[in-house]
Amino acid sequence: MSLPVAVIGATGRIGSEAVKAVSAAADLELTATLNRNSSLEELKGTRVAVELTHPDAVMANLEYCVRNGIHVVTGTTGWTEERLATLRGWLASSPGVGVLIAPNFSIGAVLSMKFAQQAAKYFETVEVVELHHNNKADAPSGTAARTAQLIAAARDAAGLPRQSDPTTHGLPGARGADVDGVPVHSVRLRGLLAHQEVLLGDTGETLTIRHDSLHHSCFMPGILLGVRKVVETPGLTFGLEHFLDL
Ligand SMILES: NC(=O)C1=CN([C@@H]2O[C@H](COP(=O)(O)OP(=O)(O)OC[C@H]3O[C@@H](n4cnc5c(N)ncnc54)[C@H](OP(=O)(O)O)[C@@H]3O)[C@@H](O)[C@H]2O)C=CC1
Ligand SMILES: O=C(O)C1=N[C@H](C(=O)O)C[C@H](O)C1
């Protein structure tokens, strides 16, 4: 029997690709496609909602799904500790429901985050540069924020001090956003999709870990994996790496 799956944000750049991917999967049945004007009542009969909308919309969508026993796979950005705590509260009242939040569904991007995490303790300095299309609502990207958090945690665990910044003269923003002590720089450019470089430097050498998403199809294997796994994984899973054998 196929698994009933809906896509919320089905008219969007990634959502429209997800509609095609779910439709093409023999073990999944596309039951509903929702956009900004849809009623969440259309999710009736759905077991997994793929949620790909906007930081302003994601919380209401997740609250409805969790309260109605619908598992969720979301890639929407804008997560804060406060939002995660609210979501955990809803999940505590619906213990059988699973939610996967994936800052990035692309396998290459997940690997690049892992590699950055592994390299972090060997370099005194590290900065993240993310580059995206010019219609993106959030900065830094969810992937860059997560990458910086993972790097910072790895540095802390290894006993490395916070990086010092010698800048005494500069314009606001010139050194990027500070994510747990890691500078993150955001570029928005027509023609790009999603790209990231982690730059690590120490005496006499640098290491650059770069990932490029060239088409939204790169996110689909991760979304489909998430849909199949989330039904058997109650509670909150943060990061696709937990569903991969890394
Ligand atoms: N985790 C990952 O791997 C990836 C995550 N993303 C994230 O996914 C999200 C969507 O990205 P993208 O597809 O580029 O965005 P788009 O703007 O192209 O699409 C957004 C979709 O969400 C709907 N939407 C927007 N606002 C609302 C709202 N207030 N209520 C309900 N629905 C709404 C839109 O409907 P309508 O057409 O009616 O406006 C549209 O279907 C972003 O947060 C992005 O960062 C993107 C790519 C990969
Ligand atoms: O908005 C996008 O396009 C993307 N958003 C996600 C993010 O913020 O990290 C994932 C990927 O970078 C594409």
Q: Which atom of ligand 1 is nearest to the CA of 76?
A: 43
* Same domain, residue pair 57 and 27: yes
For residues 83-110, b (16+ Cβ closer than 10 Å) or e, as one string?
eeeebeebbeebeebbbbbbbbbbbebb
Pairwise CA distance, residues 35 & 29, whole Å: 18
Res 1 pLDDT > 90: no
Q: Which ligand is nearest to the CA of 9?
A: 1
* 47 alpha carbon – ligand 2 mean position (Å): 25
* Same domain, residue pair 129 and 89: no
Share of the chain above pLDDT 70, in %: 100
Determine whether the shortest distance from the Cβ of 76 to ligand 2 is under 6 A: no
* Same domain, residue pair 93 and 134: no
* Same domain, residue pair 61 and 153: no
Determine whether the shortest distance from the Cβ of 140 to ligand 2 is under 6 A: no
Residue ranges making up the domain that contains 67: 3-105+217-243
Q: Which ligand is nearest to the CA of 100?
A: 1
Q: What is the pLDDT of residues 75-123, one digit of tens each?
A: 999 999 999 999 999 999 999 999 999 999 999 999 999 999 999 999 9
* Same domain, residue pair 87 and 7: yes
* Same domain, residue pair 151 and 91: no
- pTM, to two decimals: 0.97
Pairwise CA distance, residues 7 & 18, whole Å: 7
List the catalytic residues.
Answer: 132, 136
**3 state SS of 134:** coil
List the binding residues. Answer: 9-14, 75-77, 102-105, 133, 142-143
Ligand 1, CB cutoff 6 Å, lining residues? 9-15, 35-37, 52-54, 56-57, 75-77, 102-105, 142, 219
Instruction: Tell me the pairing of strands 125-132 and 177-179.
Output: unpaired
* Same domain, residue pair 208 and 111: yes
Spell out the long-range contacts of 145-149 with Cβ–Cβ below 8 A and sequence spacing 24 or more: 145/103, 145/179, 145/184, 146/103, 146/104, 146/113, 146/239, 147/112, 147/113, 147/116, 147/196, 147/198, 148/179, 148/180, 148/182, 148/184, 149/179, 149/180
Domain harbouring 182, CATH code = 3.30.360.10
List the binding residues for (S)-2,3,4,5-tetrahydrodipicolinate. Answer: 133, 142-143
Determine whether the shortest distance from the Cβ of 9 to ligand 2 is under 6 A: no
* 204 alpha carbon – ligand 2 mean position (Å): 33
Res 15 pLDDT > 90: yes
* Same domain, residue pair 113 and 205: yes
Give the ipTM: 0.98
